[in-house]
Amino acid sequence: MMKNNILFQIAAKLFSIILFVYLLARALALFSAAGMFVYIDIGDEASYMSPVYKNVSLKRILDLNEIIIGAQDIVSQNINEPLKPFSNVEVTRVRREKRKESRSVPYRVIWSRQYDSNLRKVELQKVVEKHIAIEVLETFHNSVLHYSAVLNERSIAVEYYRLLLLSPDNKVEKIYDLSKAKRINMIATAYYPGDPLAWGDGTITFLGHRMQRGIVAVDPSVIPLRTRVFVSGYGYGYAGDTGNAIKGNRIDLGVNNAEEEKSWMFREVTVYILEPSNTW
């Protein structure tokens, strides 16, 4: 009887040991199975949990999951080597874009002069303005701007003339950009108050103004009457008169006297059309 009890105790211990080993083996198997995965995080697109295989490279795992890696993308692990269980793989999508931008540096006056001999006080300015064209390469990581670099920068300086109409106390009333004004190449002549060849007695213009320097006679089909103009070498003018001989691209400039008239006879000038106005 005692012998049987001993055998039963030995059998019970063996069973306990076998059960423990079995349960341990199952636990290890489950633990191992749970660890045979890798986690792949692709920026702001998606996350994957993929089985990992012995001696299988990351590239192959990516291919099996139909994950395409771009030439510029960044992968946190070497795609040509196998992965260990529990590995985390981060894929950063990289995108590069070229962008062009431009900006202008405010104009700077490099020369100016005031004139008050023609109807009203004006100021002629020569200004320079700088335009900068920039080409920028921007790099995005997962749609977020990571950094930018200037590839090319080109600067162009543009010079042009402006005409400022001034009040008697030198306040600016109007500014004309002569580079944007319509230009007409014309042949100039001149006339003066009391000129015997002028319209009427040469003292009152076609529009009824007193004849003076700055009043110019035009062909209204070319330059409408009541138009502000600027004439190269002569200055500010107002189209306030006509003349029988003033046809086509001809302009008759009002001057002070017969002596000044001679210096303007049949000179080539450029006429800038500023704007129509009921006053000069």
Residues 86, 105: one domain?
A: no
The span from the CA of 23 to the CA of 151, in Å, is 66
In a domain, 35, yes or no: yes
Distance CA 9, CA 16 (A): 10
Q: How confident is the prediction along the chain (280 residues), in pLDDT tens digits per residue?
A: 555 566 666 666 666 677 666 555 554 444 444 447 889 999 888 888 888 778 899 999 899 889 999 999 999 999 999 988 888 999 999 999 999 999 998 889 999 999 999 999 999 999 999 999 999 999 999 999 999 999 999 999 999 999 999 999 999 999 999 999 999 999 999 999 988 887 777 789 999 999 999 999 999 999 999 999 999 999 999 999 999 899 999 999 999 999 999 999 999 999 999 999 999 9
How many whole angstroms separate alpha carbon 135 and alpha carbon 151? Answer: 5
Q: Is residue 13 part of a domain?
A: no
Question: Does 4 map to a domain?
Answer: no
Q: Which pLDDT belongs to residue 31? A: 43
Are 208 and 264 in the same domain? yes
Euclidean distance between the first and the last CA atom of the chain, given in angstroms as a whole number:
140
In the prediction, which pLDDT does 246 show?
95
- How far is Cα 182 from Cα 178, in angstroms, rounded to an integer? 8
214 and 260 within one domain = yes
Same domain, 70 and 102: no
Please count the structural domains in the chain: 3
The domain boundary, picked from 92, 110, 133, lies at 92
pLDDT digits over 8-61, tens only? 666 666 666 776 665 555 544 444 444 478 899 998 888 888 887 788 999 998
3-class secondary structure, 27: helix
Q: 49 has which bridge partners?
A: 39
CA-to-CA distance for 253 and 262, rounded, in angstroms?
Answer: 11
How many angstroms from the chain centroid is the CA of residue 231?
35
Residues 80 and 122 in one domain: no
Q: What is the pLDDT of residue 30?
A: 44
Domain with residue 54: its CATH number is 3.10.20.90
What pLDDT, on a 0 to 100 scale, did the predictor assign at position 19? 61
Q: How many whole angstroms separate alpha carbon 226 and alpha carbon 237?
A: 10
The neighbour count for residue 198, using CB atoms within 10 Å, is 20
Question: What's the pLDDT at 50?
Answer: 84
Does 132 lie in the same domain as 87? Answer: no
Quote the Cα angle for 230-235-240, to 5°. 60
Q: What is the DSSP letter of 118?
A: S
Q: Look at residue 85 in the predicted model and tell me its pLDDT.
A: 85
Q: In CATH, what number is assigned to the domain containing residue 248?
A: 2.40.40.10
252 and 185 share one domain? yes
Same domain? For 48 and 102 the reply is no
Q: Which of 92, 110, 139 is the last residue of a domain?
A: 92
Query: Which 3 state secondary structure label does DSSP give 265?
Result: coil
Confirm whether 6 is domain-assigned: no
Structural domain of 225: 181-276
Q: Assess whether 128 and 156 both reside in one domain.
A: yes
Q: Are residues 108 and 83 in the same domain?
A: no
Is 23 part of any domain?
no
Asked if residues 121 and 166 have their Cβ atoms less than 8 Å apart, the reply is yes
- Final residue of a structural domain among 68, 92, 116: 92
- 77 within domain boundaries: yes
DSSP code, position 210: B
pTM given for the model: 0.65
d(CA 236, CA 250): 17
Do 85 and 121 belong together in one domain?
no
